[in-house]
Amino acid sequence: MFLMKDIVRDGDPVLRQEAADVAFPLSAEDQQLAKDLMEYLVVSQDPEQCKKYGLRAGVGLAAPQVGVSKKMASVLVPAPEEGGKSPFTDVIINPVIVSESVQAGALTEGEGCLSVDKDVPGFVPRHDRITLRYFDVNGEKHQVRLKNYPAIVCQHEIDHLHGMLFYDHINKDHPFETNEDMIMIE
Ligand SMILES: O=CN(O)C[C@@H](CC1CCCC1)C(=O)N1NCCC[C@H]1C(=O)Nc1ccccn1
Ligand code: NI
């Protein structure tokens, strides 16, 4: 199981590399990695377990963040209401955004990252809607259309696989600049 000590922090070159494609069928090692990446999110989103293991709760975790430069990331978008269904949960492998809205979207709270210990204020403009193509751990191909928060989370994770961090997208001079066409996501 991954703990905070296993999470690589900004400054480590692995976070700025283009990660490698994952080969199928998954090696035993890559199967374990996929399990561990998802387990971190499940445990961290359980308040009791989160506290017990001293974790920062997360909704996504990319392999480079645990020092593995491979195109794999876990995503666990919490259910909007108690007992509801998660809008998107999977381990995305060799993900590709095949289409994206012109319309931008950004989290009103800005973004953070488990690999970035400092707060970096500002809106992170992304695409409000994306069509995501990826493979799951069984090698099954998926194509999903996501919008708003789930789309933002997946874009944040896919950025990690290309050596990008959220603050790379923040406008240096006007960090909170928006245009009226930008969807602000609570
Ligand atoms: O690459 C992956 N990461 O860096 C983990 C990030 C991913 C999200 C940041 C913005 C979009 C995706 C993450 O989850 N966070 N960022 C730092 C601290 C907070 C935490 C978070 O948003 N937690 C959360 C939110 C809702 C419900 C439960 N927990
Ligand atoms: Ni991150």
Q: pLDDT, tens digit, for every residue of 67-117?
A: 999 999 999 999 999 889 999 999 999 999 999 999 999 999 999 999 999
Among 114, 165, 185, name the best residue to mutate to test ligand 1's pocket (greatest count of ligand atoms within 8 A of Cβ). Answer: 114
Q: What is the pLDDT of residue 82?
A: 87
| Residue 175 CA to ligand 2 centre (angstroms) | 19
In percent, the amount of the chain with pLDDT more than 70 equals 100
Q: What is the pLDDT of residue 19?
A: 99
Q: Please determine, for residue 154, whether its predicted confidence score (pLDDT) is greater than 90.
A: yes
Please answer whether residues 28 and 183 qualify as being in contact, where contact means their C-beta atoms are separated by less than 8 angstroms. no
Average pLDDT in the chain: 98
156 marked as part of a ligand binding site: yes
154 marked as part of a ligand binding site: no
At position 142, the amino acid (one-letter code) is: H
Burial environment of residue 100 by CB neighbours within 10 A (0 to 12, 13 to 18, 19 or more): middle
Model confidence at 151, pLDDT cuts 50, 70, 90, reads very high
Q: Does residue 113 have its Cβ closer than 6 Å to ligand 1?
A: yes
| Residue 159 CA to ligand 2 centre (angstroms) | 8
